[in-house]
Structure 1
Amino acid sequence: MPTVSDSAARGGHRRNGGDVVVETLTALGTSTVFGIPGQHALGLFDALSRSELHFVSSRVENNSGFGADGYARATGEVGVLFLSTGPGALTALAALQEAYATGVPLLVISSQIPRSGLGGARKGMLHQLDDQRASASNVTKSTALVREASQIPSAIAAAWALAQTAPAGPTWVEVPQDVLLEVTHVPPVRTVSAPIPAVPPRAELADAAAALLRSAERPVILAGGGVRRSAGGAEALLRLAELLDAPVVSTVGGKGAIAFEHPLSAASWIEDRFTTELLENADVLLAVGTSMGEVTSNYFTFAPRGTLIQVDAEARVLESNHEALALHSDAALALAAIAERLPERAFDAERSRGAVIAAELRLAVEQRLAGQGLERELGVLADIRSAVPADAQTFWDMTIAGYWAWSAWNPLDGAFHSAQGAGGLGFGFPAALAAAIGTGRRTLAVSGDGGAMYSIAELATARQHNSAVTWLIIDDGGYGILREYMTDAFGQATATELSRPDFVALAAAFDVPAREATLDTLGEVLGESFATQGPTVVVLKTVLRMFAPTHLS
């Protein structure tokens, strides 16, 4: 087995495969890398010391993955993740599932056992998997294995481009330990070509969609996460909505594709029967950048009565849940192509029928919620919103407050990020701290006490990198949403109650300032946290509950 010393000549370093990896990433524009060192990856990490790349060292590989995800969402760059072989690689898969489901561009560079052991040729090697790429195949767009250092630039460039090609997502490149350590004759990498192909709609499909919308009397647009992720998607959506005078409903992932303050915005109360009815009653419903899956369809109760037009860059989701005129396309390109085929007209907010429909929907939702005794929950969301700057990016775990935020949170000028793509716990804090590092702006993470324990070790990461992140932990003594689901279904909850630490004291042990807030002081404490330096924790002990199951009549 090669050792670190094998890759260096006495008297000085000689370039090896690890250097080729780092040089290629630098040439592609990478500035920040996430991960945790491991034995098979030592050559890769040693090469970092000879580069300008900024390395963010997490404490758990899955949190490294969430960090790369949050960094990519916040900055618009590719999130780059270094993983070691076997246990390290496997531990990150849940985070990659979230990025894959949500369409976040990540590039994973994973080490591998030496070439002599690949394919099970030798047994008993440390961290050995029979087929490591197979483990990653369900949560990535592609996997590749390089066997020579000369293959590294092309393999990484191809993965880099594919990660950003609509629909975006994680890609995976493996480099064996010996390839990373061996001296290479490959010249220093200075330029790398990684063109990203466009995914436009077919002209005849754009013609057909425009014809349907031109003749529609009750058009509605459903804007998904694909609109937000598409370059120019929000602008193209707004232009088309105004041309059609069509109300726009945002999915959870599409929240922010159209400003809630716009007259045509019907907000994002996607788990509400009034919203479902609006979508169902459209004579032409244009669904863009959404699979119309479980949450968006209000738990598969949505049944369109009119014609559905579905636009998505992911071909496999088209018509997966409903028959539609299907356009395989990047969202911005499809929206622009349809708009070009419609007659120009100025949008008049005062005479807009679509604006009336959107306003009536939002009022109906507010009135229904007002009768459910949800003053605490609405107050908590309002206090968070008032305390957090309008342009701050927020990251929400799978917790009751996060579920509320899916529908109720107005992102204003900041981006909303949630783990609803795959629904795993522990996303919020590592994603938010990485986003703060990437943008240099304070972010907000919101977790429950159960989800917080998934990423509590990353308080050390936040402290080490002085990340400007505020972490709000809403402590209800257990897995609150599961407690509620089980009680509703079975009359009692089982295995949902948790012993947990004193989060304020625990944060202090990491040298992270922390305060406990009450329902009366939450807004004040959160607001003050945004005026501090470095990481901070706010703990609110309260039990929140969800609004009534609004998919029922």
Structure 2
Amino acid sequence: MTHDHDLELRPTPAQTEAALNPPAGRTGGDLVVETLRGLGASTVFGLPGQHALGMFDALRRSDLAYVGLRVENNAGFAADAYGRITGEVAPLLLSTGPGALLSLAALQEAAAASAPVLAIGSQVPVAGLGGGRHGYLHELRDQQASFRDVVKSVHTVRTQSQIPSALAAAWEAALTAPHGPVWVEIPQDVLLAETSLPVVTAVDATPRDLVPRPELTAVAADLLTRAERPVIVAGGGVVRADAAGKLRALAEKLDAPVVTTFGGKGAFPWEHPLSLQSWLEDRHTTDFLEDADVLLVVGSGLGELSSNYHTFAPRGRVIQIEADPGKLESNHPALGIHADARLALSALLETVGQRSDPAAPGRAREVLAAVRARIAAQDLTLEQQVLTSVRAALPDDSPSFWDMTILAYWAWSAFDARRPNTMHSAQGAGGLGYGFPAALGAAAADPTRPVLAVSGDGGAMYSIAELATARQYDLNVTWLIVDDGGYGILREYMTDAFGEATATELTRPDFVALAQSFGVPGARTTPEHLRDDLTKALSEPGPSVVVLPAVLRMFAPTHLGTG
């Protein structure tokens, strides 16, 4: 008996002819780029190195677009952003040892934010694998061990025939919920040796659907339908799963107010009557969440920031939908549903009953009014003016990428993202230097929209080299640098904790002149002119830098009983 799939496995005569007569002059590096193309990749990021040259040489024989950055960590941030914006896997080509290790902080951010990055690093020749000390340049005793605690999976290739399968397995892992980075390493000699293997064509690496268990969604639906005060916390998993529409439909069916985490910005309309916006670092919001009799948490682990620094103590029943099993019930007991956010929300939409609670929008408005009153009492006009100017200058559909800086901390709580998947920051892992290289990756993903990067002067110094990348590829990124003379947030933390700050004050370059030395237009602005100067920069093609000298302050925390 012949099955349909048996027929599909039989090569056509043309395929057989091509397989038996592969073109000459190909190497293991060609197998890498052919496999990436067969998997659906169109753009790769990276930085060449001695052991990886076989991959980079093969790029010139392929139609893959290459975006080369100047520092491996920045290349990782660019790939992270490409993965977030497109929802597709972003290949990242790296060399051995120092080049590979320099990507680790970026891969940690990709893991924390569930960005699908396929990092492909070279290795010393096969004879040097296995933990010996053979004296090869860049050699590590166990290179993959450095990545195992950071990425979703690691794959080591030892022969050319293993390349397509290893890359396909890694690709599938990167795209299976929760998305995340993966690591593949290939020895130098495997990449350089000529190959007689057939050209790699289409490769099947379909990610597995993470479907919720129906008995659990039935219980969750019953709890939500019968709840008196249901509330929803929407995390980054809603954005990654492209489930904002499902979330809104469920909230409206339940009349349940929604707060978005900092990673979930844009998952729910900011001005919706049921919106609690993103004021998670506020006791008014925390109290409201604690008062819910049923709290639905979708795509969030309720970690440090989302739980108001672990002060949140729910009194009602918690339902947690989470694709990462390690985050399920890790901070609070819950009805844990291990599932992709979109599939779980779809199941709930089909099974919950219609609730009507005319008072719910009023309760949400009361919380927001209390938050605004608290902020208004703190004399933070400058900070709000700057954030308002940034929002007014940025087109609604343009993505923004925020480094770890005071203005970003404000934006987490107070910035209206307006669209899902448009506001991104490094709050997953919290590393400096994310904003600008990530924005370059987003601009490479979609050249039709201007992209905004926001950094402080301290974080900006991590990324200065990428002004050359921005100019080389003529990427549409405007970089706003808020120059306060040092590590502003650490200055505040240390002053509050110890009475004075140490090691936070920095000598800076003239950022405008420095940008211009790279051939990138630069302008110095003021809070009064920021909106106009940013609007102008964003409206002109190619890269630009806008520098705002200003000392911004954080709003007072409320997780410590201060308000």
TM-score by length of 1: 0.96
Name the counterpart of 2:468. 460
Q: Which runs of 4+ in 1 moved over 3 A?
A: none
The yes-or-no answer on 1:402 pairing with 2:408 is yes
Name the counterpart of 2:428. 421
Letter of the aligned partner of 1:370 in structure 2? Answer: A
Task: Give the C-alpha shift of residue 461 in structure 1.
Answer: 0.3
3-state SS of 1:34 partner: strand
Name the counterpart of 1:93. 104
The yes-or-no answer on 1:411 pairing with 2:430 is no
Name the counterpart of 1:353. 359
The yes-or-no answer on 1:32 pairing with 2:43 is yes
Letter of the aligned partner of 1:494 in structure 2? Answer: T
Distance 2:457 2:389 in 1: 19
Distance 2:268 2:419 in 1: 11
Moved more, 357-366 or 529-538: 357-366
Distance 2:434 2:494 in 1: 23
* Cα deviation code 1:11-65 (max 9, x no counterpart): x961111000000001111111111000000111000000001111100000000
Task: Give the C-alpha shift of residue 357 in structure 1.
Answer: 1.8
The yes-or-no answer on 1:255 pairing with 2:265 is yes
RMSD: 1.2
Letter of the aligned partner of 2:203 in structure 1? Answer: V
Task: Give the C-alpha shift of residue 122 in structure 1.
Answer: 4.8
Name the counterpart of 1:108. 119
Of the three residues 374, 387, 399, the one matched with 2:380 is: 374
**2:238–2:267 Cα contact (<8 Å) kept:** yes
Distance 1:269 1:518 in 2: 27
**1:393–1:444 Cα contact (<8 Å) kept:** yes
Letter of the aligned partner of 1:266 in structure 2? Answer: L
* Cα deviation code 1:167-222 (max 9, x no counterpart): 00001111100100111121001110111111111111111111111111000000
3-state SS of 2:462 partner: coil
**1:61–1:83 Cα contact (<8 Å) kept:** yes
Name the counterpart of 1:243. 253
**2:267–2:419 Cα contact (<8 Å) kept:** no
Letter of the aligned partner of 2:238 in structure 1? Answer: V
3-state SS of 1:20 partner: helix
The yes-or-no answer on 1:78 pairing with 2:85 is no
Distance 2:131 2:253 in 1: 60
Letter of the aligned partner of 2:227 in structure 1? Answer: A
3-state SS of 1:140 partner: coil
Name the counterpart of 1:9. none
3-state SS of 1:81 partner: strand
The yes-or-no answer on 1:159 pairing with 2:170 is yes
Alignment of 1:97-496 (within 5 A): 97-231=108-242, 233-344=243-354, 352-413=358-419, 415-440=422-447, 441-496=449-504
3-state SS of 1:167 partner: coil
Name the counterpart of 2:20. none
**2:386–2:527 Cα contact (<8 Å) kept:** yes
Distance 2:463 2:488 in 1: 17
* Cα deviation code 1:348-402 (max 9, x no counterpart): xxx7322222222111111111100000000000011111111110000000000
3-state SS of 1:525 partner: helix
Letter of the aligned partner of 2:511 in structure 1? Answer: F
* Cα deviation code 1:399-423 (max 9, x no counterpart): 0000000000101136100000000
**1:434–1:467 Cα contact (<8 Å) kept:** no
3-state SS of 1:310 partner: strand
Letter of the aligned partner of 1:529 in structure 2? Answer: A
The yes-or-no answer on 1:52 pairing with 2:59 is no
Of the three residues 531, 545, 552, the one matched with 1:523 is: 531
Q: 1:122 to 1:481 in 2, by over 3 A?
A: closer
**2:456–2:483 Cα contact (<8 Å) kept:** yes
3-state SS of 1:417 partner: strand
In structure 1, list runs of 5 or more residues that go unmatched: 1-11
**2:437–2:466 Cα contact (<8 Å) kept:** yes
Of the three residues 4, 7, 18, the one matched with 2:29 is: 18
**1:116–1:122 Cα contact (<8 Å) kept:** no
**1:212–1:284 Cα contact (<8 Å) kept:** yes
Task: Give the C-alpha shift of residue 343 in structure 1.
Answer: 2.4
The yes-or-no answer on 1:552 pairing with 2:560 is yes
Distance 2:558 2:132 in 1: 56
* Cα deviation code 1:121-160 (max 9, x no counterpart): 4521110001110001111000000111111111111111
Moved more, 336-345 or 199-208: 336-345
Moved more, 411-420 or 249-258: 411-420
Letter of the aligned partner of 2:425 in structure 1? Answer: S
Distance 1:316 1:263 in 2: 34
Task: Give the C-alpha shift of residue 235 in structure 1.
Answer: 1.5
Number of residue pairs matched?
537
* Cα deviation code 1:267-305 (max 9, x no counterpart): 001111111111111000001110100000000100001
Task: Give the C-alpha shift of residue 263 in structure 1.
Answer: 1.4
Distance 1:248 1:206 in 2: 19
**1:223–1:288 Cα contact (<8 Å) kept:** yes
Distance 1:490 1:56 in 2: 44
Distance 1:453 1:152 in 2: 38
Moved more, 524-533 or 463-472: 524-533
Task: Give the C-alpha shift of residue 120 in structure 1.
Answer: 3.0
Distance 2:379 2:272 in 1: 29
Letter of the aligned partner of 2:395 in structure 1? Answer: P
3-state SS of 1:365 partner: helix
3-state SS of 1:253 partner: helix
* Cα deviation code 1:323-342 (max 9, x no counterpart): 11111111111111122112
